[in-house]
Amino acid sequence: MPYPLLSKTDSELAEALAAEDSRQESHLELIASENFVSQGVLEAYTSTLTNKYAEGYPAKRYYGGCGPADRVENLAIERLKKIFNAKFANVQPHSGASANLAAFYATLMPGDTYMGMDLSHGGHLTHGSAVNFSGLYYKPVAYGVKESDHLIDYDRAEALALEHKPKLIIAGASAYPRIIDFPRFRRIADKVGAKVMVDMAHIAGLVAAGLHPSPLEYADIVTSTTHKTLRGPRGGIILTNSEELIKTLNSRVFPGVQGGPLMHVIAAKAAAFAEALTGDFKTYQQNVVANAKALAERLIERKLSLVSGGTDNHLMIVNTFDTKGITGKDAQLMLEAANITTNKNMLPYDKNKPAVASGIRLGSPALTTRGFGKSEFIETADIIADILDAKGSDAALIAAKERVQKLCSRFPMRKFRLWD
């Protein structure tokens, strides 16, 4: 039993947690922003540091008893700097959105103009959506991808920058399957005296392994989550090579937008960063990219079209609407009925509303952690295509679920969870 104590004192909660364990065990996890952490990361995450208040930074705390907390936070900072070859790091942001909030707070005043990628073209909520702080308190100007090839329209971004004179330009995305040209964004920013912020949340693991060019040389500020390709606990980080900026950034994180750091999460970040410095992690990231390619190629062979025609990284956006006449919303539901977890996703220039969307986003990080190789990803592509071809018929779903179950039982989560 995975929760021996809780199941005695709070069986309702223990059952809900066990249900999530078995969901992860029995489903194919294809959400591009998710991953499975190691047992070491989980152990650090459940450490007694969750009991500790440590407002401030190492050696400059507002509470007593922070000796071990200082050691943990320094380990996380030093490891993170080493991974990305960065001069300064802040490991306290509770999430990617908090990291971005602090970065905005450090570089912009309310009402200032900045540029970010259009949400419907692959950007993130925190890059200028009207329903987010980034759209409510600042003036976002959106750049996007070309309709012809779905690649970022750098010329148009440059024209927009010259027209609107933003103070900050954000590069980075939640749903862009190609390499991002950071030097080009730097050149555009330099023409108008803007700062560059790269939000590498999705590709951080690839950058760590040298499989996507690093933004550190070109960006004033780099933010990221730690839980996607980087395979750490849920959380955020900020990096910079500027001594002046790190002082502002640190004060914007705490006391600017956060109170006490989540020290147990920082411990888990330190554990994940140690893993990211190993050769095994590099091999893992190489497999992530190779597996995404194998999945993409097979989907294309099965007559599904992909945004930009394929992928260079860990994710792809599948156009289910134009190729199979199925909305993203329905595709997500059909696949879920066969224990395949995905998310509906807008396509650039989508004709459907965001809640419906015309495609789904698929990523390889989680199943690659689970041990899947190219042949399992090809099988996964075939299962998906069979379901969509049959428009989610009962017979197709029953057959698909069986194939999913076979795949899952060949790669038990227990292998790295080790709870029994």
Ligand X SMILES: Cc1ncc(COP(=O)(O)O)c(C=O)c1O
From 197-205, 252-260, 289-297, 334-342, span contacting ligand X (CB under 6 A): 197-205
Burial zone of 45 (CB within 10 Å; 0-12 exposed, 13-18 middle, 19+ buried):
buried
Q: Mark residues 214-233: x for contact with ligand X by CB under 6 A, - for none.
A: -----------x--------
Is residue 126 close enough to count as binding ligand X by CB under 6 A?
Answer: yes
From 3-11, 89-97, 114-122, 288-296, span contacting ligand X (CB under 6 A): 89-97
The continuous run of DSSP H or E covering 8 comes out as helix 4-9
Instruction: Indicate if 234 belongs to the active site.
Output: yes
Query: Within 93-235, where are the H helices?
Result: 96-107, 133-136, 154-164, 182-192, 204-208
From 109-117, 166-174, 282-290, 377-385, span contacting ligand X (CB under 6 A): 166-174
Query: Within 140-278, where are the H helices?
Result: 154-164, 182-192, 204-208, 243-251, 263-276
Q: Mark residues 352-391: x for contact with ligand X by CB under 6 A, - for none.
A: ----------------------------------------
Instruction: Indicate if 275 belongs to the active site.
Output: no
Is residue 172 close enough to count as binding ligand X by CB under 6 A?
Answer: yes
Counting other chains too, the contacts that 57-66 makes at CB distance below 8 Å and 24 or more residues apart are: 57/250, 57/254
Which amino acid, residue 250? N
Q: Which residue is nearest to ligand X (CB)?
A: 96
For the record, the structure tokens of 409 come out as 């039982």
Is residue 150 close enough to count as binding ligand X by CB under 6 A?
Answer: no
Nearest CA to 41 among 260, 284, 235, 258? 235
Is residue 95 close enough to count as binding ligand X by CB under 6 A?
Answer: yes
Query: Within 53-203, where are the H helices?
Result: 67-84, 96-107, 133-136, 154-164, 182-192
Q: Cβ 228 to ligand X, closest distance in Å?
A: 7
Which residues ranging from 31 to 60 are in contact with ligand X (CB under 6 A)? 33
For the record, the structure tokens of 43 come out as 């152990």
**Residue ranges that bind ligand X, judged by CB under 6 A:** 33, 95-97, 100, 124, 126, 172-174, 199, 201-202, 225, 236
Hey, which residues are catalytic here?
53, 55, 199, 225, 228, 234
